[in-house]
Amino acid sequence: MTASEILSALGWPHVALIFALVFIFVFNRPLREFIGRIKSVGKDGLSTETAPTLQNEDVRQKAVDELMRLGDSPLMLEAEKLIRIDIEERGLNAESDSCKVLIRHLAATQIALDFEQIYNLIFGSQIFLLKKLNEVVGQGLEEEQIEKHYHAVQEIYPDSFGDWSFEQYLQFMFSRNLLTKQDGKIHITVKGVEFLVWMVKTGHSESRGL
Q: Report, as an integer, the average pLDDT of 177-203.
A: 93
Q: Report, as an integer, the average pLDDT of 111-126.
A: 93
Average pLDDT, the chain: 78
Residue 54 clears pLDDT 80, i.e. is over it: no
Residue 110's nearest CA partner among 66, 79, 87, 78 is 79
Question: 210: pLDDT confidence band, cut at 50, 70 and 90?
Answer: confident
Q: Report, as an integer, the average pLDDT of 153-157.
A: 92
User: What length does the chain have?
Assistant: 210
Residue 131 clears pLDDT 90, i.e. is over it: yes
Q: What is the pLDDT of residues 57-83, one digit of tens each?
A: 665 566 556 555 556 788 889 999 999
Q: State the pLDDT at residue 22.
A: 45
Alpha-carbon span 157 to 125, nearest angstrom: 11
Question: 96: pLDDT confidence band, cut at 50, 70 and 90?
Answer: confident
Q: State the pLDDT at residue 101.
A: 85
Most confident of 99-103, 104-108, 183-187: 183-187
Alpha-carbon span 201 to 190, nearest angstrom: 16
Q: State the pLDDT at residue 62.
A: 63
Q: State the pLDDT at residue 100.
A: 86
CB 79 within 8 A of CB 110: yes
Q: State the pLDDT at residue 7.
A: 43
Question: 6: pLDDT confidence band, cut at 50, 70 and 90?
Answer: very low
Q: pTM higher than 0.75 for the full model?
A: no
Alpha-carbon span 33 to 36, nearest angstrom: 5
Architecture of domain 122-202: Orthogonal Bundle (1.10)
Q: State the pLDDT at residue 183.
A: 87
Q: Report, as an integer, the average pLDDT of 42-53.
A: 53
